[in-house]
């Protein structure tokens, strides 16, 4: 499988996860186990690099083979691939030199990157990379490398996103909210083994990037060419479904045909004048379309290609459905879907006998009047230009059902919830609520209602009713003040909730019994 189809192997993903886990553990405690964990990740990264280097070697070999076959076409792409190879090697070596110097700073002149003795040394990385400015130069070089690779794959958004994500050298936010530079996160007070592992990961990314970019360049050699390894006859019809009285129309062509040579086409025993087959659909049923395409070869012989298809002739029908349910509601826009098999949507006409009709991007909206059924009629412009009546369907028209009033509030997780009464309601959520809302208790109807006002019926210690009124959908100051003073277990009622829907009708909704918890 090519690198383009599989940017990260399971092993690479596992190494990345191990790195994240170890980095998090490092922030808590630099123990021997954590340091040894970085050693394991470092070894795995080295193995991953070796595998990618092997893939790169094979890829460059394939490039050279292609050049030997077609130097003119492949030459420019191989030149770009070699530029990627050189730039990657330069960047890789800069990081390798920095790794060697950090380990020697920690372990002495005989320090070995692959066998670090002073793994927990927290100063060597900063002294070699930060104090000298080499870390900043490395970051700038990585940014230049990223920008140069983007020039090669800029048209491939997936690869461009990969490069920007992999070589993101912006500020890093710590768990405590503090920000630290990219180079600081690698070298500042970091154990030597951690810094070396992070640098090795960058090297592994470089090798993988080289594989991705060079493989992309290889794919561009003949990206604009058409590949043809099979010639076959095709029947291209405007529609395989034809209504009675309409026409079936199809084009018979050769895939990868030579436009300078005209084939001889025979359909159902009759030779065509050109490549278009038209027959009148006089009866209902399934009808075959089969024949032969004959094309002269350069040597004078004739190649024959058989083809076979069929088309269906049916009675004209219209599919009419209300998107919400099998009834229409007065006073609102009811979405309607209408289709006619074999007819494009733009050639379908719809009319109604009750209400206003408007066309939308997905179909039609009907706003009917209550008290009369709505009959939807459909006609269509056929392929031959005729306008044909297809059918009609009646729908019952009903007034909108009354909505249910509820208190809108947010739960402990911040999610909007509905309190409809009869059970204890936490006082904190009550006083923090958004007020009174109204909606249909029906998931099939998405209808918005506006709450115009409501009363709250409180009871004093003598049992007397105290009514406070709100003239909108929010609790008034007096209502809210009274609710804040109510003890646990006390009840009150929200009544005379006035709501208006899109049909313009104002309704009084059932009361809500509230039990303060």
Task: State residue 215's pLDDT score.
Answer: 92
* Ordered strands of the 285-296 beta sheet: 241-243, 302-314, 285-296, 264-267, 270-271
Q: Which residue in 474, 477, 400 sits closest to 439, CA to CA?
A: 400
Q: How far is CA 34 from CA 20, 38, 261, in A?
A: 12, 6, 73
Helix or strand (DSSP H, E) at 279: strand 276-280
| pLDDT above 70 for 317 | no
> Residue 357's beta-bridge partner residues?
366
Indicate the range of 66-75, 130-139, 249-258 predicted with least confidence: 249-258
Number of domains within the chain: 4
Domain boundary among 343, 370, 398: 398
Distance separating alpha carbons of residues 330 and 155, to the nearest angstrom: 52
The answer to whether residue 90 is domain-embedded is yes
**CA 68, 69, 74, 75 torsion: positive or negative?**
positive
Pair 66, 209 in one domain = yes
292: containing domain: 233-314
The answer to whether residue 3 is domain-embedded is no
What lies within 8 Å, CB to CB, of 341 at 6+ separation is 241, 243, 314, 317, 319
- What's the CATH number where 329 sits? 2.60.40.1080
Q: Are the C-beta atoms of residues 266 and 290 closer than 8 Å to each other?
A: no
Q: Which residues of 452-461 are buried (b: 16+ CB within 10 A; e: fewer)?
A: bebbbbbeee
Tell me the per-residue pLDDT of 41-72, one tens digit each, with 9 for 90 and over.
Answer: 888 888 888 999 999 999 999 999 988 888 88
| pLDDT above 50 for 5 | no
3-state helix, strand, coil in the chain (%, to 5): 35, 30, 35
The answer to whether residue 308 is domain-embedded is yes
pLDDT classification of 102: cutoffs 50, 70, 90: very high
The answer to whether residue 1 is domain-embedded is no
Tell me the per-residue pLDDT of 285-311, one tens digit each, with 9 for 90 and over.
Answer: 888 999 999 877 654 678 888 988 888
The answer to whether residue 224 is domain-embedded is no
What does the mean pLDDT of the chain come to? 85
Higher pLDDT, 302 or 377: 377
Pair 348, 373 in one domain = yes
Tell me the per-residue pLDDT of 173-221, one tens digit each, with 9 for 90 and over.
Answer: 877 888 999 999 899 988 999 899 999 999 999 999 999 999 999 988 8
Q: Are the C-beta atoms of residues 398 and 366 closer than 8 Å to each other?
A: no
Pair 456, 471 in one domain = yes
The answer to whether residue 75 is domain-embedded is yes
Strands (E), 92-163: none
Is the pTM here over 0.95, yes or no? no
Pair 64, 143 in one domain = yes
DSSP conformation letters of 182-205: HHHHHHTT--HHHHHHHHHHHHHH
| pLDDT above 50 for 457 | yes
Task: State residue 325's pLDDT score.
Answer: 63
Q: DSSP 3-state assignment of 95?
A: helix
């Amino acid at each position: 499988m090519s690198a383009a189809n599989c940017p990260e192997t399971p092993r690479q993903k596992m190494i990345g996860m191990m790195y994240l886990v170890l980095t998090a553990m490092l922030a808590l405690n630099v123990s021997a186990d954590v340091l040894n964990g970085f050693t394991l990740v470092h070894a795995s990264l080295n193995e991953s690099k070796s595998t990618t280097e092997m893939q790169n070697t094979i890829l460059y070999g394939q490039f050279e083979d292609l050049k030997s076959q077609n130097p003119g076409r492949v030459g420019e792409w191989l030149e770009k691939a070699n530029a990627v190879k050189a730039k990657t090697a330069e960047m890789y070596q800069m990081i390798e030199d920095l790794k060697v110097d950090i380990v020697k700073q920690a372990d002495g002149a005989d320090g070995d990157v692959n066998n670090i003795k002073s793994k927990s040394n927290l100063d060597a990385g900063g002294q070699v990379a930060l104090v000298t400015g080499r870390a900043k130069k490395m970051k700038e070089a990585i940014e230049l490398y990223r920008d140069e690779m983007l020039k090669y794959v800029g048209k491939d958004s997936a690869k461009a996103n990969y490069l920007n994500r992999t070589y993101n050298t912006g500020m890093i936010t710590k768990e405590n909210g503090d920000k630290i530079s990219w180079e600081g996160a690698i070298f500042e007070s970091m154990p030597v083994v951690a810094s070396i592992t992070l640098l090795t990961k960058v090297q592994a990314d470089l090798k993988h990037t080289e594989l991705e970019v060079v493989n992309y360049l290889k794919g561009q050699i003949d990206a604009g060419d058409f590949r043809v390894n099979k010639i076959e006859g095709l029947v291209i019809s405007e529609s395989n479904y034809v209504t009675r009285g309409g026409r079936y129309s199809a084009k018979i062509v050769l895939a990868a045909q030579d436009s300078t040579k005209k084939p001889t086409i025979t359909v159902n025993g009759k030779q065509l004048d050109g490549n278009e087959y038209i027959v009148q659909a006089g009866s209902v049923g399934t009808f075959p379309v089969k024949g032969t395409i004959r094309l002269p070869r350069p040597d004078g012989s004739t190649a024959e290609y058989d083809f076979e298809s069929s088309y269906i002739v049916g009675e004209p029908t219209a599919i009419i459905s209300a998107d919400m349910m099998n009834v229409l509601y007065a006073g609102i826009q009811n979405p309607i879907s209408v289709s006619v098999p074999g007819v494009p949507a733009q050639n379908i006409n719809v009319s109604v006998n009750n209400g206003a009709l408007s066309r939308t991007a997905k179909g039609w909206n009907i706003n009917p009047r209550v008290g009369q059924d709505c009959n939807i009629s459909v006609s269509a412009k056929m392929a031959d230009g005729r306008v044909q009546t297809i059918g009609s369907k009646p729908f019952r028209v009903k007034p909108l059902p009354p909505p249910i009033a509820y208190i809108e509030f947010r739960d402990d997780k911040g999610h909007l919830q509905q309190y409809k009464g009869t059970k204890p309601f936490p006082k904190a959520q009550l006083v923090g609520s958004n007020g009174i809302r109204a909606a249909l208790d029906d998931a099939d109807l998405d209808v918005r209602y506006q709450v115009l006002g409501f009363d709250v019926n409180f009871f004093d210690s003598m049992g007397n009713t105290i009514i406070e009124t709100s003239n909108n959908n929010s609790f008034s100051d007096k209502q809210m003040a009274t609710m804040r003073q109510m003890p646990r277990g006390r009840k009150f009622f929200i009544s005379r909730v006035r709501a208006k829907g899109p049909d313009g009708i104002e309704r009084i909704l059932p009361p809500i019994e509230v039990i303060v918890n």
